Amino acid sequence: MSSAVRFHDQHVDAAGPSFRDDVIAGLSLERKRLSPKYFYDERGSRLFEAICRQPEYYLTRTEEGILAAAAEEIAALVGPESLLVELGSGASRKVRLLLEAMRPSRYLGVDISRDFLLQSTRRLAADYPWLEVHAAWADFSERLRVPAGVEGRRAVAFFPGSSIGNFAPAEAEAFLARLRQALPPGSGVLIGVDLVKDRRVLEAAYNDAAGVTAAFNLNLLERMRRELGASVEPGNFRHRAFFDAAASRIEMHLVSQCPQTLVVDEHRFAFARGETLHTENSCKYSREGFQALAGRAGYRSSVVWSDAEGLFSVHYLSSD
């Protein structure tokens, strides 16, 4: 079988907002905010891969350990000749553990970062010449379409890393409901969900000593300069991440260190000293709380795996 990647451009929606539109809209709010999906240009995607290697960031290594232990059980649940759809096509070992255990007939990587998507799927195609590899450049947080001809006896969507936490609970429920509609009937979802735990462990994971998460957060401002020609000085902002226990989420912000004005085209956005740009939420769940959310979206959490310390969970959601 050819190791070429079949590329599907689903990114451009003429009716949808652009990065520029969303930056202007988000900075116009009384409490300024932007979607975390805009972290993931090529540099941002590479910085996130580096975050996953930091000692404080327990999520990646814990999820990998769970998947390694459960890979054969997952393969038996999904069955042979399946379609594996990875939401957020990464370069980590996680999907490789599944590919080797499941031996799916087709793989579809979906990501908002075109260059990173192509690099990661080309590596997979080279390393697994028996696998038919597809890449969809798309914003799956808004809409997901399985391209025509990309099929399997059974489909499973793989959404690792607790990225579901970037959605508020109501948004996560709506996302899962859309995903259920986008996938063929009887499909499953394998999803990583971070669990509520000690505040110190949570906050350390998003404030690594090496400053990689800070660079990742600040890269959003660099991206505004590179792509939009924005007048902004990233050095005038600092990274802040903290756990909001009432909302059960980590919040990430960029904090203005002085009075300043950020300019995009003819739009001027004043920041007071200490004012923040809210860039990400990462919601944390109890096992039962996430099962209830999945149920409201039309899924049944049929199997749940966790680590011995109860740091992280992986759910297999079924809709049949």
pLDDT at residue number 80? 85
Q: Report the number of secondary-structure helices (H) and strands (E) in the chain.
A: 9, 13
Q: Please tell me the distance from the alpha carbon of residue 253 to that of residue 251, in angstroms, as a whole number.
A: 7
pLDDT at residue number 125? 93
Q: Are 275 and 258 in contact (CB under 8 A)?
A: no
pLDDT at residue number 59? 97
pLDDT reading at 16 higher than 80: no
For the stretch 156-212, pLDDT in tens is 999 999 999 999 999 999 999 999 999 988 899 999 999 999 999 999 999 999 999
Highest mean pLDDT, choosing among 11-20, 58-67, 137-146: 58-67
The pLDDT of 299-311, averaged and rounded, is 95
In the block, residue with structure tokens 């996130």: 48
pLDDT at residue number 68? 96
pLDDT at residue number 189? 97
Three-class secondary structure of residue 220 per DSSP:
helix
Token digits for 287?
A: 């096992």
Amino acid at 232: V
pLDDT > 70 fraction of the chain, expressed in percent and rounded: 96
3-state helix/strand/coil string of 130-170: CCEEEEEECCCCCCCCCCCCCCCCCEEEEECCCHHHHCCHH
- Range in 64-73, 76-85, 252-261 the model is least confident about: 76-85
Q: Please tell me the distance from the alpha carbon of residue 222 to that of residue 31, in angstroms, as a whole number.
A: 21
Mean pLDDT score of the chain:
93
Q: Please tell me the distance from the alpha carbon of residue 269 to that of residue 28, in angstroms, as a whole number.
A: 7
Q: Are 312 and 318 in contact (CB under 8 A)?
A: no
Give the containing element (helix H, strand E) for 293.
helix 287-296
Torsion of CA 205, 210, 211, 215, to 10 degrees: -110
For the stretch 279-289, pLDDT in tens is 999 999 999 99
pLDDT at residue number 14? 41
* Conformational region of residue 229, where left means phi above 0, alpha means psi within -120 to 50, and beta covers everything else: left
Q: Please tell me the distance from the alpha carbon of residue 14 to that of residue 19, in angstroms, as a whole number.
A: 13
For the stretch 201-241, pLDDT in tens is 999 999 999 999 999 999 999 999 999 999 999 999 999 99
Amino acid at 207: N
Strands (E), the chain: 6-9, 83-87, 106-111, 132-137, 155-159, 188-194, 237-244, 249-256, 260-264, 267-271, 276-283, 300-306, 312-318
pLDDT at residue number 1? 42
- Range in 31-35, 117-121, 165-169, 277-281 the model is least confident about: 117-121
Q: Residue 3's pLDDT band (boundaries 50, 70, 90)?
A: low
pLDDT at residue number 12? 55
Q: Are 89 and 121 in contact (CB under 8 A)?
A: yes
pLDDT at residue number 15? 44
